[in-house]
Structure 1
């Protein structure tokens, strides 16, 4: 009776044993060879070369003509000022001023010729230093632009292109006198300057009686500066008089 039981238990053990993985029996591990790590590359030493930037000059140029209003036959002075704003000196400075249209260059050591203009040179201009030169001209004719226009340039060692500046003065028209027109109530009036640059329109209801309107210009008048606007060359004036010759300063309509 016990032998069949023992045989059944033995058979059960054999069946269960076949279901257990062989790794549970403590199988011998397989040795694997490790790939050795490569040594890091030897660092390459490079020499960094210092860069030296050239010491370039910082030139500022200005030009002015005095007086600001001239007539044919008058003499004017053109002044050019160069300032070195860089922290180091400027070398081999050359200032050139071509002859403006409508003028004659007066004798001067810096004058290249009577028609070519002027040329000034300086070997050195220290930091913060300024150089001022001037040329005298005589107005021979009134340019078509109505102004004496001058433009100068300056070069120095290290600059790739010149620094330029311009300026000018008004040349008065000898034939430009005051202009006059009459205002009649109920009819608009128009007053134009002789050069056609200024036109004043009065509405029909500007005044209740006849007026005589006269336009004039004062090129030498000094006007207060207007913020945001370039200065002009003179003052435009408008005078209104009644039939008795009294000035009128107030109008009924703008």
Structure 2
């Protein structure tokens, strides 16, 4: 069994309606949090998630709406008496920045009651989360616009999209992308599409769904100002390629 709870479904623009996009994946043995923007601890508590029930945290990339709440979340683990280790998983290019950020936030290993384990992944190389779940990543173009600053600032420009495998089922999690071309990074057939809807337009989404042919598409990273447009578009279309769901904070689905 694999369940996904949408802790946050909003874009990078702060919203009173939606938290920053974050997902909680529950396998039979672990809770895996994907991304943790500002306010993640409160968002989890609002949805009756015990903070110390989280076993692993995947950081997709280092835009603040996907990452800035990490230090606060680890602090709350400590304040809630956590003793079991937590694994922080990100691309190899991101880990030194993450470690320095945590130290600068006074997350000192010797002062924590639990171990923080860091795990790195690489593009196009399988990463095994546990016996139930693994993923493959490919670089998308979301951070390409920052390349001109890289020589000056040495930016961590890792921006992966993820292809999760749960036994024989495939979940394509786009993370943030740069263009519609990033919806076609993987050649394998998919069952579930978790697609951000800030950085592509709705016609591009429709074209991608026709080609990818998922059974279910869950739209995430939703700007408040775009929500009515999305709902109107979905109501006007006759999609023959599975069900399309505009997600909301707190939505929980059993996907397999």
Q: Compute the TM-score of the two structures, normalised by the length of structure 1.
A: 0.22
Q: Which has the higher helix share?
A: 2
Greater RCO between the two (CA within 8 Å, min separation 6)?
A: 2
Q: Which has the higher strand share?
A: 1
Q: Compute the TM-score of the two structures, normalised by the length of structure 2.
A: 0.22
Larger radius of gyration: 1
